[in-house]
Amino acid sequence: MGLTGFIGLGHMGEGMARQLQSKGHKLAVYDVRNEPVEGLVSMGAENAGSVAGVAKASDVVVTMLPASADVEQVVLGPDGVLANGREGQLVMDMSTVDPETSDKLAAELAKAGIGFVDAPVGRLASHAWAGESLFMVGAHDDDFARVKPLLEAMGTTIYHCGGPGTGTRTKLVNNFLTIGLCQMNAEVLTLSQAFGLDLETTFGVLNGTTGTNGQLKVAYANKVLKGDTEPGFRVTLAHKDMLLICNAANAVNAPVPLAASVRESLSLAKAGGYAERDFSSALDHWCERAGVPKARFKDAG
């Protein structure tokens, strides 16, 4: 009792949990993989051993898992947080999931007197490890006050978007723009490669006009253009987000033809062997399909 629980110590979660632990929030942690658990334990966190162990030890349980099905299993499954939780607890899901999943978690947990906050995360994994993330939070006011110190320990920018479910919906709106721009960068730079243009010159022009975008300036500049396609944010998760975006948009009759096209471009990247690479490697995939050299800065090595 009295600890903060953290389930899901992947590219994002491990860095976020490390920020919490290093800033005085004593954690009970769990992941199906041992390696990140051991890292947190060496910093003073408790190895809860299972989802149930986290639920029993914690007042607030944070989840940072890949997709909707994982979160539903961990929170609502037979050995999950709800089954092992108690009235007065709070679950904060920080994964990017279907809005219907957030709504379902809020409703099911409420029946047991357990609060729910959806607080998906903006920016890159490198920001999460540096404690510089942005959070989009859906929460009742009293629950927001309860998680605010945790969010302040993990990030620099917090938006309280409204009640439960609004954080997840804001995240999908944001990721449509983010992932859409990433795919646009891939096609634009593939054309530059096909024209045989100088990459550094093209990069300078694109960042010097109104075409400027953070995906090109920050993510591409630090990852794929330097030859680094280690995730980061995996292609398979970007594809999952585009599926969520298309489905959620269709559910409210919002036409999103570009989103469908981006989703299928990522389907091709997944099928082409890029599923576990960083999502900026959409560029490598596109260059490969076009039969042009991969775009790399001259000093990329």
Q: Is 112 exposed, middle or buried (0-12, 13-18, 19+ CB in 10 A)?
A: middle
Give the β-pairing of 115-118 and 121-122.
Answer: unpaired
Stretch that binds ligand NAD, among 63-71, 109-117, 220-228, 290-298 (CB under 6 A): 63-71
For residue 138, the surrounding DSSP H or E stretch is strand 133-138
C-beta nearest to ligand NAD: residue: 10
Stretch that binds ligand NAD, among 10-18, 102-110, 139-147, 281-289 (CB under 6 A): 10-18
121: contact with ligand NAD by CB under 6 A = yes
Q: Which is nearer to ligand NAD, 125 or 192 (CB)?
A: 125
The residues annotated with a catalytic role in the active site are 171
20: contact with ligand NAD by CB under 6 A = no
Residue choice 60, 74, 92, 106 for contact with ligand NAD (CB under 6 A): 74
Runs of H (alpha helix) within the chain: 13-22, 34-42, 51-57, 68-76, 81-84, 99-111, 125-130, 141-154, 166-194, 199-208, 214, 221-222, 235-251, 257-269, 282-290
The rounded distance, in Å, linking the Cα atoms of 110 and 127 is 32
Smallest gap from Cβ 30 to ligand NAD, in A, equals 6
13: contact with ligand NAD by CB under 6 A = yes
In contact, 74 and 80? CB cutoff 8 Å: yes
Q: Which residue reads 């999103």 in tokens?
A: 256
Residue choice 237, 248, 282, 295 for contact with ligand NAD (CB under 6 A): 237
Q: Which is nearer to ligand NAD, 128 or 184 (CB)?
A: 128
98: contact with ligand NAD by CB under 6 A = no
7: contact with ligand NAD by CB under 6 A = yes
53: contact with ligand NAD by CB under 6 A = no
Residue 224: name the closest of 268, 258, 269 by CA: 269
Residues that bind ligand NAD (CB under 6 A): 7-13, 30-33, 64-66, 70, 73-74, 95-96, 121, 124-125, 232-233, 237, 241
